[in-house]
């Protein structure tokens, strides 16, 4: 493990975005710098921080928002990472090749280098979340990255509903699972379903922390973004929870915020020895997990 300290300060960037990618990048970089000045050592952005959440519609013009990796965003993030000696997780729209695009998170180490990448594995296709039009499913698998401040795993938004992704990333040695996110309410549904939807979202991720004995960090965006049927009201409430599933820090519903909390990695072994789920797994009995459905 690259990190030498058992305590690491994590910063999560929660922001509204505009239609100007350059302005979004500059504002996010400034927020990362502010987080570093407040003592954050690992900082994570929300999902697709350079743009509005364009997946509300199927529009070929939106492919122009994508960028190569390495590219302008990794250059900007790497510069800040090196200058302030921090690790940065950034969520980007990757142009890999003509006709091949991914929803990709990069890990910039504290020396400014591109330490690793994760391409979103689970791609949704729901009303106002039309991601299958834009993103090819990831092909890098679930893995952890050694950084100056610890071994971290990265998944992206819709991945957060799948216990398999969290488990495999934890088994790769991740001490913190980061989930850059863009999720919110359909305004017409909020009154009836809003609380239950948010509760489900928070609960599933806290359960990943408990089941795997890891910290879970979730930066979400905020603000209303126009679209068909009233658009999306992103619900913010970025949070970080401990390996026992308890919320350590939580942001507001509607404000731009920099959320910072300290992770004590010594708690991981304590949690896993008191709740020894990894010890008691029946790996000999899980072969059917790779089947789509078990008939009969």
pLDDT-derived band at 228, boundaries 50, 70, 90: confident
The catalytic residue among 44, 47, 55, 115 is 47
The catalytic residue among 44, 50, 94, 120 is 120
pLDDT (mean) for 225-234: 91
Catalytic residue list contains 47: yes
Exposed (0-12), middle (13-18) or buried (19+): which is 238, by Cβ within 10 Å? Answer: buried
Element (H or E) spanning 279, and its range?
A: helix 277-280
Q: What is the pLDDT of residue 3?
A: 47
pLDDT (mean) for 80-102: 98
pLDDT, tens digit, 9 for 90 and up, residues 130-160: 999 999 999 999 999 999 999 999 999 999 9
The catalytic residue among 44, 62, 157, 263 is 157
Give me the residue label for tokens 């658009």: 231
pLDDT at 5 over 80: no
pLDDT, tens digit, 9 for 90 and up, residues 44-70: 999 999 999 999 999 999 999 999 999
Q: Answer whether 46's CB lies under 8 Å from 27's CB.
A: no
pLDDT (mean) for 30-43: 98
Q: Among the listed ranges 31-45, 81-95, 223-237, 254-268, which one has the minimum average pLDDT value? A: 223-237
% the chain with pLDDT above 90: 96
Catalytic residue list contains 157: yes
Q: Answer whether 166's CB lies under 8 Å from 211's CB.
A: yes
pLDDT at 1 over 50: no
Element (H or E) spanning 146, and its range?
A: strand 144-147
Domain residue ranges in the chain: 7-274
User: Which CATH number does 7-274 carry?
Assistant: 3.60.110.10
pLDDT, tens digit, 9 for 90 and up, residues 125-137: 999 999 999 999 9
Q: Answer whether 59's CB lies under 8 Å from 230's CB.
A: no
pLDDT (mean) for 148-177: 98
């Amino acid at each position: 493990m690259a990190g030498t300290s058992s305590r690491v300060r994590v910063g999560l960037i929660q922001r509204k975005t505009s239609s100007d990618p350059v302005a979004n990048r500059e504002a996010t970089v400034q927020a990362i710098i502010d987080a570093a000045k407040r003592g954050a050592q690992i900082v994570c952005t929300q999902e697709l921080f350079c743009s509005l959440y364009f997946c509300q519609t199927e529009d070929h013009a939106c492919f122009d928002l994508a960028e190569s990796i390495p590219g302008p965003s990794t250059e900007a993030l790497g510069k800040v990472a090196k200058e302030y000696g921090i690790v940065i997780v950034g969520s980007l729209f990757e142009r890999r090749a003509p006709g091949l695009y991914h929803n990709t998170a990069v890990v910039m180490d504290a020396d400014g280098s591109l330490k690793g990448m994760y391409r979103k594995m689970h791609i949704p296709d729901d009303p106002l979340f039309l991601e299958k039009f834009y993103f090819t499913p990831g092909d890098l698998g679930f893995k952890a990255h050694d950084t100056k401040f610890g071994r971290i795993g990265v998944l992206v938004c819709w991945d957060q509903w799948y216990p398999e992704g969290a488990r495999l990333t934890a088994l790769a040695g991740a001490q913190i699972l980061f989930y850059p996110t863009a999720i919110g309410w359909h305004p017409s549904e909020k009154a009836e379903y809003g609380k239950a939807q948010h509760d489900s979202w928070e609960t599933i991720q806290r359960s990943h922390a408990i089941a795997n004995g890891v910290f879970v960090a979730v930066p979400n965006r905020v603000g209303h973004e126009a679209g068909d049927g009233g658009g999306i009201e992103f619900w913010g409430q970025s949070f970080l929870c401990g390996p026992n599933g308890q919320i350590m820090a939580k942001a507001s519903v509607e404000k731009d915020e920099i959320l910072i909390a300290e992770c004590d990695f010594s708690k991981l072994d304590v949690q896993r020895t008191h709740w020894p789920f990894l010890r008691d797994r029946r790996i000999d009995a899980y072969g059917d997990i790779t089947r789509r459905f078990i008939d009969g």
